[in-house]
Structure formats: C-alpha cells, structure tokens
Chain A
Amino acid sequence: MSTATRTRRRPEAAPKAETADDAPVDLLTAADHAALHELMLLTRAVEERGVRLYKQGKIPGSFYDGRGQEAIAVGATYALAADDVVCSPLIRDLGAHLVRGTDLVEVFRHYLGRENRLSRGREGNIHFGDRRLGVVGPVSMLPDMMVVAVGVAMAFRIRGEQRCALSFFGDGATSRGDWHEAMNWASVRRDPVVFVCENNQLAYSTPTSRQFRVRPAERAAAYAMPAEIVDGNDVTAVFDAVRRARERALDGGGPTLVEAESMRMHGHGAHDDASYVTPELLAAWADRDPLAAHAPIAVAHGVDPEALLRMVTERVDAAVAEALSSPMPDPAGATDDVFCVGEPQGLGAGDAPWSGFATAAIADRRQAA
C-alpha cells in the first residue's frame, strides 16, 4: 500500500448529515472525491497496462478489462465497511479490489502468472480475491457467486452481525437459474446482501435485447425486493445507491438490487475486437465516460486530476517492474493445497476508505441533524 493511498483515507471533515430519509445529500467529502477519482484512474491505468502486457505476450491466456465501467466497482465498494465482504468482484471489477486495498504488485504478479499471494499462479486474468481483505475470488460460471454471497450474508444474519455481503453480476448472468435461486432465497430470508447488476449491454457478443424482455431491476419486484436503476457511469450515484442498500440490509430490510447501466467499451477480452458493436453506440457512450464525468466534480473539490494521473502512473510503473522481476511458481507445488490441512483461514477486513466510516455512523448523524 502506497503512502498516497493511505493519505486519502484520512477524513477531513464530517460529511454533511442527511436532513430527511428521502432527501439524499452529498455525503462525500473532498477527500472522498479525490479517492474515488484516484481509484478510477488507477483501475484504468492498471487495465491499460494489462492489455499492453497481454499484447506483448507477457500475460498468458487473455486479459479482461472493464473500460467504461470503472465507476460501478469503485462506487459500490466504496460504500462498504471494513467487515463487509465482496463476494465477488467480476472481470470488470478490478476497482473493487483496489478499494479494498489489494496490493498492486500482487495484482500484476497474478496477471503475469508469477508466484503471488492472491492465487499462487493457480488462477489467471482477474480471477482472484484477497481473503485477508474480505474479498472472495470469482468463478467463471455466472452468477454462482451471488448464491455464495447469500450464504455469507446468511452467516452474518444468523450471528447477529452488522455486516453485509456485496455481489456483482452482469446482465448475462440473469439468464441462469442460479440468479433466480439467489434472488428468491435472499428475499425469503431477508439476508443482508446487496446485488449490483452491471448492465453493460452485452453478454460477450449478445445484446440484452436477445437475452431478456424484462430488465433485471424490474424483475426484482417479483421477489418483493427493492431495486433501483442508476447511471453506472456516475460514481457518486452508484455509491449512494449501494450505501442506502447497505443500510437497508443492516437494518434487517433484506436484499436490494441496484442495476447500474453502463457500456462495455472494449471487447469481452483482449482477444475480442468487438466488431459486433456499432461505432455510433461506442461513440455515444464515450461521451459519458465515467472518469471524464467525475473530473469536474473532483476539480471542484480541489483535486488536480493531472497530478493524480501522474502519481497513479508512477505506482503502476513501479508495480509492473517489481512484478516482472518476480519468480514464476515452482512446478513442484502445482498440486499443493487442493485440500485444506489444519484450521481454515477466514475472511479478513478490507480497507473502507469512505470518510463516513471514519467519523460516525450515518444513522447517528441523521439523528443529530
């Protein structure tokens, strides 16, 4: 963790309190806006470097990035407390790992198939999760981890803990039966889970119009589950929707579905030129780029995006250099750890950079107001 990253966690002033339940106000301080902007810049910088390393033949397999969707993972995860669990970030959600504090060098070691603490070279692309930071790595079968997140939330509820699980899924994942099982189960049990749908218009090459007639947020009503549609390219909107969903979950209100609308601006993976997407559609969404959208807000809070970008680039450069000089995994260990021996290592607490956690609970502030 860099010094810069630590610095942004220091709260400057108590956020403004909400004056009424239905009147959301900006709970983000200048430090929060700086952190959100930096995390989105960092996400993009890491992924741009990843694509380049893949094309240079240094990253095996393929490379999957979330260009255009950075605000969703960053905004949603930013609303979590340290003890909450992300189960799981998906292939467009590098930002979720970065919010939780995942070490950048380890991320690049993982991408490169080097020995690393996240996956020990046993997994590739963005299939990792640092359990020490309360992040569960995803699987390729979607939306399997939604179901697992419900189980994590069930454990929190049974033990009476004030924690929630956050699960990401894409529009494509809503066509499988596990999606129904997760939605139904969580709603019946009122488990403290927040489902974030990343509607990026495409399941690989298949547009949403050929996947479903009823959009995911509307389907939530069939489960008696609150849902809302937010602009997935507006990091503050995503943050606020997830923050409220989290509060509902902790208050015993059960699960919420947040459908964040966005656009996958690159191919499914670096091997995919996405020729099935029209240039006009991409151009229209390029005008709504989440980093460009947030830049004026950040500037208004005293952030210098150019300086942030320079700092982020330096961090990425340093991390890549260190990762490239790291050893490959020892082939002798290829079959180690298929089984756990001894006491299971559990989920730890991650970074929770939102200033709201550093000052006082929102409910207390609301009461004071």
Chain B
Amino acid sequence: MSNASRALTEPLPSSPVRPAAWTTLLPFVILFGLAALLPLTGNDYWGLIATRAAIYWMLVSGLSLIVGFAGQLAIGYVALLTLGAYTTSVLAAGNVLPPLPTFMALGVASAAGAVFGVIVGLPALRLRTFYFAMTTLGFATIVTQVALAWQGVTGGGIGITGPEMPAPFNTAWGFFYLCLGIAALCTWGTSNIARSRVGRSLVAIRDAEVAAEASGISKARLLVVVFMFAGALAAMAGGLFASLQTYITPDAFTFELSLLFFIAVLIGGRGSILGPLIGTLVLTILPEIAAPLAAWSTFLYAFLLLVIVLAMPGGIAALLDFESRKPLAFGRAVKPNPHVLGELLCGERGTSSLVLRDVILSFGGVRAIDGVDLEVRPGQVHGLIGPNGSGKTTTLNVVSGYYAPENGDVTLGASLEPAAPATRAGRGIARTFQTPRIVGEASVLDNVMIGGAIDGRATFMESLLSLRRHRDDEARMEADALLALRAVGLEALAHVRADRLQHSELRFIEIARTLVLRPAFLLLDEPAAGLSSVEIDQLGRLIVEIGRQGTGVLLVEHHADLIFSICDYVTVLNLGRVLAAGTPAEIRVHKEVVSAYLGG
C-alpha cells in the first residue's frame, strides 16, 4: 500500500479513505490473541471447542474463496474433509503402505485433497449453479459410501484411529497451538488471495462474469487453481479433524457438518475473510451454548440461512462495514480529467487497424449482421450508429469474441480467435457494456483494478505468500487504477462500494476499468445512455482524448450529437448491413441515412 501511494505523483483528494491497515487487522489480532491466551483458563473443554473452530476455519477459509468469492455453491464440501481425514488416518496407521509420520501423511492428504478438490469442482465449469450444488452433494454421499465399503483400508463402519501427533503437539494444548497457528496462516494466506488479482477476479466471475471475460480473466484456469487450494486446505483440516476426534467413522461426516461450513461462509458474508471467520466461530460455539436446542440445530441453521438470504445477503461482513453506512456527498458530478490520460496511456501502440471483413451472423434464421465491413484505425474515434436492431451491439459482440461469425473474419494484425472473449484483453481490445457490468459489493478501486488482471505477473503461490512480485503487482495495479479513476473523475470515490454509486458514475467506472488495460482499441457500447447533457459533454472530451493518445475507439451510440461532434469517422448500420460510412460531415448529408435514421 505504501508503495502505491509513493507511486502517485500527488496526494489524492479522497473523502472516504481506504481503512488503515491496522483497523482491518485489528479484529484478527484480537480474535487470535484471545485464542492464544485460552490455555491460561486451563479448561480443556474450551480448548477442544477452540481447536475445533480452528480446524473448521481452515476448511472454511478455503471454501469461502469458492462460495463467497467465486460464487460456486459447493454444498457438499464435507466430502473433502472426509477424504482428508481418512487419507491421513490410513497413511498414519499404515493400512496400505508402511506407516508414514503424521505430518507427512497430512501432506499427502493435502495433495490428494487438491486433486479431489478439482474433481469435485470441475462440474462448476460446465454446469449451472443448482446442478453444481447437486453434484457436490452427490460427492459427499459417494465418499462416505466408499469409506464404508472399502473396509480393508478404512475400517468400514468400525472406522479407524485418527493420526497421533508427534511431540510437542501430542497434548491438548500443544495440538491447539498447532491448529491455531495453521488457522492463522490460512487467514493470512486467504486474505492475501482475497486482496490480490485472484480474489478480485473471482468476485468478478461471480458478479460480472462477462466483464471478467472481457478483462481477459480465464474462469477455468482461475477456478481450477482455487479448487486445488481449497481442496488441499479442506483435506488438511480433515487430517487434523481426525486427530482431534481420535477416532473416525463414516457417521462423523454428516450433512449437518457440511451445512455448517457452507452457512458459515454465507453468514459471514460473501467476499469477506473476517465475516466467515466470525461465522465459523459462532456456528461452532452456538450449539455448545444452546445444548437444549440440539434437536432443532439443523432447523436453526436452515432458518439462519433463510434469514440471511432474504434479509441481509451481505452477512456479518456487511454489518461490520460501518464505512458504507456513512452517507455519500449528494449531487455529485463526474468531472473527468482527460489530461491525466497521457500519464496513463503513455507507451507504444501498434499500427494495425481493427478490421471486420464481410462478417455474417444470424440468430434463428434472422441475419443480425449481414456482411459488415469495418475498419477502426489506431487513434481513430469511430462511431457506429443505426436504428434499433441494426446490429450495432452484435458487431461489438463479434469483435469482443462473444459470438463466432458464420462468415468473414475479424483481424487486428493477425486474425482474432472467434468465440473466445477472454483472449481479447491480451490483444489490447477492451470494452464497456450497455448495462454496466460492475461488482456491486467491491470497491470502485477494486472494480477498476479488475481491468488490469492480465497485467499481473505473480503466480497464485506468490500472491498467497505475499511475495515480492505480488506486492509489486498490487502496487502497480493500484497506482494505475487510481490514475484511471482520476482520469474519469472518480478518484474521490475510490474506496466506496460500487453499488452505492449512481448509474452515470458506473458508466465511468467501466471506462476506467478499460483504461487500466491501456487498450489499443476500446469498444464503447452506448456509454452516454442515462447521462445528463453535462456528463455527455465530459464523456465526449474524455473519448476524444483517449483517441488522441493513440487508442482506437469504436463507439456505439444513439446520441447523434455526441457522435457527430467527436467522431473522426462514422459507420451507419441498417438491417445488419453497412448503409453508409464516412466522415461525420459526409454522413450528415447522406440521403439514405437522413431518411432512414436521422429522420430528416
């Protein structure tokens, strides 16, 4: 963070500031500090509960990346706990191989968890949410069935002794400190991930998948890594769980336990680390306090879940987010600073044009675009106009790879891979959307930083451990994003949750998000819709300056005034064909355009 502020040339006039590091850290320090003092009570019972909470948290911290961040509803995650518990126990007991030392068994179990985590997660790449939830439930059943049936190895219904810890972890408190230490590491690691481009990309996949793709984020690759990580954590938690239980049987791995993990994330709040941590603590401790309600515990879990979904989808994290309850200034106006663009977009641009040649695409027999030819030159502001249904947005979608054209091709130097939207950012093509695709729960700054996702060089492991390259990445991306926000005039709102902003501001966030990519070509889909005339003027000046920096702009817009005042070149579509193309002056007097579109 300090790097980031140093990278900026001048201090920012920001009103709601990013919470200082220590306020974010404080709750964690308090929680773990209190836990570390627990042995002073000498009460083994509280030690046991705390150890259990720490173990559950290892699993939940990983699961929260899947459920909370990526929005993949993995209900049956107890499957991985079971796998880890059995793998560790079996290896430590030496049922198949010579007995391994406990820590080595834990390591092997984590590796197995990573592999199995991907297997459990794979359907998420292809299936819809509900389907995925069902398949994870199925996995939970299958793992238990296998544990039952494979009696020679797992002990079947009789079960198997949990692994014994070596000294000094073989006492209750020794084991507690081990688990607490690992839990603290998990907290630190997942927080690093949460505040890295991985975390932001996951949230983007959850709430704005299309925008994530346009920013070059590969859902498959990202999810596979996260599933591996969460699977490894869950399996490790399983091994420690087996050690804590001292003895495991298949009936210890109940659906209720799975539900506990899942609901801990949701009670805690999606996209938060502290929230699910508190959620885990609450759900582990609650049944102990409310012992007489044991029979109703599942009912209470379910009820809590319903209440959270209906009444406070943000969970505990939203309750603790005091910052977001402070009112924002009223009557804000966006005041872009186009002069900053030079600083941001400096650097080389290619000399190739973005060219569409004879592109045809139809939906259900209707030709949405029917042989469109188009060329956008570097630095050119190219207007694309036409009546509703003339194929403007479809053209953008072909360029940005959401649709594969039936005929013709799109080239930028070399040809662009059809139907592969995630490749476009790498080719220097960025875009905005008719309805802004924004992650409402993330800050404005985070939203903008999503645009720079492909610039990151740090690997997942480097981010996890907050190594040098990760910190450099973050500093650079944050500096870029702040610069882009200054360019569009939103830097004062950088640390505000995006869903608190006005519609017009969201449009500018989207533009800022594209700018951090330093795009060679920028596709804008009706950026002026919903803006006031003052804001449209500001937008126009911003677009002109973007063009001046060498970025080619393809602008789809209904506001004819804007088009004619800022475009270097205009293409008019009608019924999926190019009706006319030329300079604004030529188009303005083009007979057919005037009669068909401009209406006299």
Physical interaction between A and B:
no
